[in-house]
Each structure stands twice: as C-alpha cells, then as structure tokens.
Amino acid sequence: MQVSGGSTVAEPFLIGDKMTGGYGKGADILHECTIAVEEGQIAVIVGPNGAGKSTAMKAVFGMLNVRQGAVRLGGEDITRLSPQDRVAKGMAFVPQTSNIFTSLTVEENLEMGAFLRRDDISHTMAQVYELFPILKEKRRQHAGELSGGQRQQVAVGRALMTQPKVLMLDEPTAGVSPIVMDELFDRIIEVARTGISILMVEQNARQALEIADKGYVLVQGRNAHTGSGKDLLQDPEVRRSFLGG
C-alpha cells in the first residue's frame, strides 16, 4: 500500500516494481522497470526489438535474477520464489516457442496443464473447449499437426488448466495471420472477462494497445511511456516512434 497526501492507494494485483536485473551474471537488461496489471484486466508490454519486453515478463515470472526491486502478487512479496512456486500461487506463463507437446494429442496437452491439480479437471476442460471450439473438434489429434494459430490456442488452453489468477503471454500472435491474430485477441478479452489478469508482450503494438486496459512502452529496459491503451494510441510521440505515425 502506498500513502500519498493522507489517502491510501491500493497496489495493483500483480506488480514488478522498479526491477533491475538480467540473466545470470551478465549485464543488467532491465533498469528500474515497472510492470503491473489489475485483476481481470489486460496489460500489454510493447516497444522496439531488444527493448527488454520479454525480459521484463520473465523477471515477473522469476526466470531471471532481479537484483533490485520486487515482484508482488496480491500484496505478497514473491521476488525470491521459483517459477514453479509462482505457478502454485496462481501464475501461468506461455512462452513464445516450444509451448506445446507436439507428440501428444490436444486433450493430452490440456491434461498436462493440470499436473499440479488434485481435483476434478473436467469442468475446466469444458471451459477451455467452450473458449476454443476448434480444440474440442481436434482433441484427439496430435498437437504437432495443427496450424500455428491452433497451436497457440492449445498453449493458452493448457495454461488455463492450472486455473491461474494471472496469465502471461509472450508474443501470442507471432507468425500468425491477421485474421488469426484478431481471433486470438478476442479470446484473450474473453479470458480477462472471467476475472483473470492478462500480462502480454506483443509485437503487433497497435492491435495490442486497442485491447489493453494498460500499456507499457519499454525502451532499452526502461519505462518510456505508461498509460491506458487508448491514451498511448493517441499519444503523438508513441504513434510517431512506435506505431508508424
């Protein structure tokens, strides 16, 4: 909680607060970078190549060393927790590549997502199939036989099987057609409507900001611009520098 001018301001549900760090003993990639998302909202990280977008998300998920700053989930400091422990706390991460088991069927992939659970998973499975009808249709097919967009649906569906409070997506629309991108974004909006927080890194900045409650523009591992998706889309400097005018 932060107190300013006598009023108490509640902290965002998930926050990577002034994170400085990098991989192993290498140079810092992030410099006092702050990324946050509220419950049931969509936060998007955009910026040029090499800006540290995916690094910021991995820092929030515990995949690299945060030398300064902190990560908090629901007010709890989770900075020192492993990624596995963060999954147990309600975080799910979908990497950009190698995010499905190609030799397993669609249904087996989804079942793998529920590996930590000891309860009946059939209700969650039904919810995933409702969200992604094509997966129900292809549930007996090997995931490796699917199109790029369908594979991404499997990856997101598998993450949802953990019943996460926060879903983190690294470049979910990489390499898919504009039509498939729009469909994936529609599904992501639906997931957020169920109360799950979405934190997403996206190359398609304009389209991502259109669905974002909050946007973060990173440059060289630092916060360059922060605001609502709508505000950033209308910001002349953001448009000129990152959105092609």
Read off the pLDDT of each residue in 94-116 and give the average, rounded to a whole number.
92
pLDDT attached to residue 30: 97
- In this predicted structure, the answer to whether residue 154 has a pLDDT above a threshold of 80 is yes
pLDDT attached to residue 1: 46
Would you list the domain boundaries of the chain? 97-163
Alpha carbons 56 and 78: distance in angstroms, whole number: 15
Q: For the chain, give the longest Cα–Cα distance.
A: 59
Under 8 Å between Cβ of 128 and 160: yes
Under 8 Å between Cβ of 208 and 44: yes
Average pLDDT, the chain: 93
pLDDT attached to residue 25: 84
pLDDT attached to residue 107: 97
- In this predicted structure, the answer to whether residue 3 has a pLDDT above a threshold of 80 is no
